[in-house]
């Protein structure tokens, strides 16, 4: 066995140069994926946690260069579910058996913390965990949402390369993004972060820094995926070739953070046929089916061709790779 992979398997620690070696050396790819799968099995078992995702608004105040729902994109139809519609859709998902509801949106300040707190309280009448993914807010707002019953929060750092972050996120602050992640952790949220892989100008070294950042902030979940260019964004011409590299970043993350939750992301499935199942066999243990109503689902177009989870024989397909669907809330 390669000695870096052996070290990661035993100690769950690697230096930056060792991470870089794993990311660069394609000959180690299969051994890396096997080691990540073994670690996943040992620490978080064979259960897959399903999280029901509701995308409740695509109205955004931000202008991220890669994102199809960025403020400046005038070519999409904007929508916002009403608070009652969000609760209704969450109730249906809970009745269908989901034990976690993920409320995700663009950065839409119509949803004040008070409005969202009310939504969360109503959803929590079901026996479910609630995850939020609504972007940057103040410490006080995160506190109100936590007190209303939110359990988890996803806020990707996107990239730890500060200069690249600045170029891709006009009028946003890298320092504030980090403050937000730390505030969420301080407030007791199970905190998720992650990165985009395949950004123009992104280096292998900075991806190694991303992984070390995940560990440094002791993230409870890591969601990462390849960049998929959207035609109405400044990154429309980028070559979408981040799948294998994203998978490697994910596998190394599993090796270094063995007990966290890692979703097999929709971006992986969208960019590669069977990408979700491949990810589940390279370290991932979470799947996030989109439970937003059919009318609004396709309007949350952060990138084109978003691949829904195919429910046909899902349980059977999981079984084929030795996995079962979890019946619990799946905390870290």
Least separation in angstroms between CB 137 and ligand SAM: 10
Residues that bind ligand SAM (CB under 6 A): 66-67, 104, 106-107, 133-135, 155-156, 158, 196, 225, 227-228, 230, 267, 302-303
Beta carbon of residue 276, minimum distance to ligand SAM (angstroms, whole number): 14
- Residue 50 CB, shortest distance to ligand SAM, in Å, is 19
Residue 321: CB minimum distance to ligand SAM, A: 25
With H, G, I as helix, E, B as strand and everything else as coil, classify residue 193. Answer: strand
- Which tokens go with 165? 């972050």
* Cβ contact 287:264 at 8 Å: yes
From the CB of 229, what's the least distance to ligand SAM, in Å? Answer: 6
Exposure of 38 by Cβ count < 10 A (0-12 exposed, 13-18 middle, 19+ buried)?
middle
* Nearer to ligand SAM among residue 296 and residue 323 (C-beta): 296
Minimum CB separation of residue 297 from ligand SAM in Å reads: 14
Output the six-digit token pair for 64. 């991220």
Residue 328 φ then ψ, to 5°: -110, 180
**What are the strands of the beta sheet with 47-50, ordered from one edge?**
286-287, 47-50, 324-325
Angle between helix axes 139-147 and 113-123 (nearest 10 degrees) is 20
Q: Name which of 155 and 208 has its Cβ closer to ligand SAM.
A: 155
Q: How far apart are CA 220 and CA 192, in angstroms?
A: 6
What is the rounded CA–CA span in Å between residue 175 and residue 90?
33
CB closer to ligand SAM, 35 vs 184: 184
Element (H, E) at 210: helix 204-216
Which residues neighbour 253 within 8 Å (Cβ) at sequence distance 6 or greater? 211, 214, 222, 224, 260, 262, 283
Please identify, using beta-carbon distances, which residue of 96 and 175 lies nearer to ligand SAM. Answer: 175
Cα–Cα distance measured from residue 266 to residue 190, given in angstroms and rounded to the nearest whole number: 21
Q: Which is nearer to ligand SAM, 148 or 168 (CB)?
A: 168
Contact 229, 240 (CB under 8 A): yes
Q: How near is the Cβ of 133 to ligand SAM at its closest, in Å?
A: 5
Closest distance between ligand SAM and the C-beta of residue 155, in Å?
5
CB of 165 to ligand SAM, least distance (A): 12
Please tell me the number of Cα atoms within 13 Å of 195 on its side-chain side: 31
Containing H/E element for 31? helix 29-44
68 half-sphere exposure, CB direction, 13 A CA radius: 18
Closer to ligand SAM by CB, 223 or 283: give it: 223
For ligand SAM, the closer CB: 158 or 190:
158
Is 213 or 318 the residue whose CB approaches ligand SAM more closely? Answer: 213
Residue among 189 and 303 whose Cβ is closer to ligand SAM:
303
């Amino acid at each position: 066995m390669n000695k870096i992979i052996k070290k990661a398997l035993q100690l769950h620690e690697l230096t930056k140069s060792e991470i870089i070696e794993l990311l660069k050396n394609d000959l180690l790819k299969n051994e890396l994926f096997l080691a990540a799968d073994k670690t996943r099995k040992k620490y978080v078992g064979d259960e897959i946690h399903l999280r029901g995702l509701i995308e409740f608004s695509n109205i955004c105040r931000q202008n991220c260069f890669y994102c199809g729902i960025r403020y400046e994109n005038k070519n999409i139809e904007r929508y916002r579910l009403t608070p009652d519609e969000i609760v209704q859709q969450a109730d249906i998902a809970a009745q269908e058996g989901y034990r976690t509801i993920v409320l995700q949106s663009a950065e839409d300040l119509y949803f004040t913390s008070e409005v969202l707190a009310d939504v969360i309280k109503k959803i929590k009448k079901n026996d479910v965990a609630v995850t939020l993914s609504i972007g940057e807010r103040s410490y006080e707002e995160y506190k109100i949402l936590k007190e209303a019953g939110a359990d988890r929060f996803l806020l990707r750092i996107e990239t730890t390369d500060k200069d690249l972050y600045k170029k891709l996120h006009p009028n946003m602050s890298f320092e504030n993004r980090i403050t937000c992640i730390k505030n969420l952790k301080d407030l007791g949220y199970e905190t998720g972060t992650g990165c985009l892989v395949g950004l123009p100008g992104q280096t292998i070294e900075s991806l190694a820094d991303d992984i070390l950042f995940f560990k440094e902030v002791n993230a409870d979940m890591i969601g990462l995926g390849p960049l998929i260019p959207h035609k109405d964004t400044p990154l429309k011409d980028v070559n979408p070739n981040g799948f294998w590299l994203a998978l490697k970043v994910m596998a190394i993350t599993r090796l270094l953070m063995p007990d966290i939750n890692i979703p097999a992301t929709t971006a992986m499935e969208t960019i590669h046929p069977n990408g979700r199942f491949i990810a589940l066999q390279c370290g991932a243990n979470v799947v996030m089916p989109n439970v937003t109503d059919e009318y609004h689902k396709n309007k949350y177009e952060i990138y084109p061709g978003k691949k829904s989870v195919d429910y046909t024989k899902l349980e059977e397909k999981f079984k084929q790779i030795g996995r079962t669907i979890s019946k619990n809330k799946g905390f870290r």
